[in-house]
Amino acid sequence: MKTTVLDEKPITAFSIATLIATVVSYVLNREWSFAERGGRSKRHEASLFFLVSAIALGITQIPLALSRYVFDLQAPNLSLVGEHVADFISGSVLGTLLAMAFRWWAFRKWVFPTELADAEPEQSEVDR
């Protein structure tokens, strides 16, 4: 029984979900986490945000690739359960932690820097 049009298209569904999550992440980071920072035009800021997010996506894959292809933690060297546990720990846990640390550092350094926010002249409510 089909429940949605994307039931048989998991890659498309995952891609759409990732895109929506990244856009929501940008808006929430700009408005909440880094509200007092920034100073660039929104277009430049968004471009940097999506570039950093793309790099972080690659960083997420590094521990999984090391687990699979350097340490060879896959069948037939491990049981299927062991392979799944190794994939989960290296991909989901370690990869996510590394990418999260990189994003936080890169957002603070390049996307929403304090130097630009501090350099902006104060504007009155009339000037805005």
Mean pLDDT is lowest, of 39-53, 68-82, 106-120, for: 106-120
pTM given for the model: 0.69
Helices 42-65/96-106 angle, 10° precision? 150
Please, which pLDDT band fits residue 34 given cuts at 50, 70 and 90?
A: confident
Residue 125 pLDDT exceeds 70: no
For the chain, the domains span 10-116
Question: What pLDDT shows up at residue 52?
Answer: 93
Q: From residue 12, how far is each of 5, 8, 34, 113 by CA, in Å?
A: 10, 9, 31, 34
Residue 45 pLDDT exceeds 70: yes
